[in-house]
Amino acid sequence: MQIIGEKINGTRKQVAQAIVERDAHYIQHLARRQAEAGSTWLDVNAGTHPDREPDDLVWLVSTIQAVVDTPLSLDSANPQALAAAIKIVNQTPLINSISGEPQRLNGVLPLVVEYGCPVIALAMGDRGIPESSAARVEVIQRVLEATRAAGIPDERVYVDALAMTLSTNTQSAVIFCDTIREVRAAYPKVHCNAGLSNISYGLPARSYVNRAFLTLALAAGLDCAILDPLDRELRATLLAAELVLGRDSYCLNYVRAYRAGVFTPNP
């Protein structure tokens, strides 16, 4: 399971302020803590000001790279910002993201090809996010036709079936899981990613919903998630789910994590 640490995101108020004020200390603190918690990638999102985004993203990347070695996930739909940041990264980054929207696909795909990056592909077309899993699979098929045509092997594509909040559609997690089951069957080499906490937006006690969704999505084939790696309950849930799914030989990962104090004993 790959974890993309979600905390360095300019749409969060404190991060936005740190970006404006060039508060390297705050950003580096978030980077260090997420790296120590075992993140595979650190997401880097500079927020939504198109004119400032390239400079802000470049500052974030160099600020983070000064203190951690964890590869970065460059989170932007703006080809200019991505192009500026990609030139200064120390390690090949994950590009977050392309989609079935022609503008986004045509704008970002050339960078993915040029720099040999892995890339997140959203199940979103030019008419928005399809309602059904069948229609989401169709969008993914079209994106994968484009990535294959560009010479990108499937194992570099992280399909994101788009977890939408249950508060407006209670079938949302079912649609997500159905989509990745179908994608996994048709394209066994792609990765499947989720922006985990979106599933519970607007609901109370979100953490329980996020944990149940993580467990069920893992069963359906999820192997990557954007989440808060500092959430100990979520890490315990992940370890327990992998154990229950029969993916932890001799319970070694679970017992080792327990002994290392990753999660607390029975409450």
Return residues touching its own copies (CB under 8 A). 166-167, 170-174, 199, 203-209, 211-213, 215-216, 219, 233, 236-237, 239-241, 243-246, 248-251, 254-255, 258-259, 263-267
Smallest gap, in angstroms, from Cβ of residue 266 to its own copies?
A: 5
Helical packing angle, 79-86 and 102-115, nearest 10°: 10
- Which C-beta is closer to its own copies: that of 34 or that of 165? 165
Residues 6 or more apart in contact with residue 182 via CB below 8 angstroms: 133, 134, 137
CA 206 – CA 198 distance, rounded (Å): 10
Q: What is the pairing mode between strands 157-160 and 191-195?
A: parallel
- Which C-beta is closer to its own copies: that of 128 or that of 202? 202
CA 120 – CA 98 distance, rounded (Å): 6
- Which C-beta is closer to its own copies: that of 106 or that of 171? 171
Smallest gap, in angstroms, from Cβ of residue 6 to its own copies?
A: 15
- Which C-beta is closer to its own copies: that of 75 or that of 248? 248
Smallest gap, in angstroms, from Cβ of residue 237 to its own copies?
A: 7
Smallest gap, in angstroms, from Cβ of residue 172 to its own copies?
A: 8
Strand partners, 224: 2, 193
Smallest gap, in angstroms, from Cβ of residue 2 to its own copies?
A: 19
Smallest gap, in angstroms, from Cβ of residue 17 to its own copies?
A: 23
- Which C-beta is closer to its own copies: that of 149 or that of 249? 249
Residue 74 · residue 49 · CB < 8 Å: no
The alpha carbon torsion through 121, 126, 129, 133 (nearest 10 deg) reads: -70
CA 129 – CA 121 distance, rounded (Å): 13
List phi, psi (to 5°) of 118: -70, 155
- Which C-beta is closer to its own copies: that of 59 or that of 201? 201
